[in-house]
Every structure is written in structure tokens, then in C-alpha cells.
Amino acid sequence: SQKIEQNSEALNIQEGKTATLTCNYTNYSPAYLQWYRQDPGRGPVFLLLIRENEKEKRKERLKVTFDTTLKQSLFHITASQPADSATYLCAPAHTGGFKTIFGAGTRLFVKA
């Protein structure tokens, strides 16, 4: 069955460093993958989408890579700030693209 894995343990980093979050998927080949941010008590908020034919996508301090051979996406936040502390969810598209499946998320803590 299709499976999505994100770092289950929280990631703690110092302000100013680059945070790297991992999303691995198995048993399918999504045509695209989305990343969302979720703050406590709130719904997820869309950040970025990357397609299978795109190796890398950037938006301000965010960078996402998509390696279809490794079946992995990496999400980077450069020059991290305490305000970046949140849970980050990866969401690869289901086969056919008619729905997305969310990973469990990785909790990021950025310390000042």
C-alpha cells in the first residue's frame, strides 16, 4: 500500500541555521507533491508544490527538492527564525492526482 514517511521526531535547530525536513514515499509515483505548514490549533496552510519533472523549487527562504528515483522530497528553510516553528506536512498526490495524501508531519522548533 502507499506509504508516506516523515521524520517522526521533532527537529530542533538554532535560529539562523538551515532546517531540512525529509519526506519519503513508497509504492507509488506521485505526479507532484505539496508541502503545508500547520500551527497548533489551526488548519494546514499551503506552502509549495513541486512537480515530478522539477528537481527543485524555491520561494523566498524555502526550497523543495523532489527525487523520483529515491522517492524522496526534501524541504529546506534557510536562515530559520523562531516564527518558522510549526509542523510541516508533505502531501504527495495520489495516483491520478485526484487527491493528496498527507504525511504525519515533522515538528520543527527554532530556538532564538
Partner 1 sequence: DAGVIQSPRHEVTEMGQEVTLRCKPISGHDYLFWYRQTMMRGLELLIYFNNNVPIDDSGMPEDRFSAKMPNASFSTLKIQPSEPRDSAVYFCASSLTVIEGEQFFGPGTRLTVL
Residues near partner 1 (CB under 8 A): 32, 34, 41-46, 49, 51, 89, 93, 97-105
| Residue 18 CB, nearest approach to partner 1 (Å) | 25
| Residue 35 CB, nearest approach to partner 1 (Å) | 11
Nearer to partner 1, 3 or 58 (CB): 3
Nearer to partner 1, 43 or 69 (CB): 43
| Count of other CB atoms within 10 angstroms of residue 105 | 21
Among 99, 100, 106, 52, smallest CA distance to 84 is for: 106
| Residue 8 CB, nearest approach to partner 1 (Å) | 10
The Cα 9–Cα 97 span in angstroms is 29
Nearer to partner 1, 62 or 101 (CB): 101
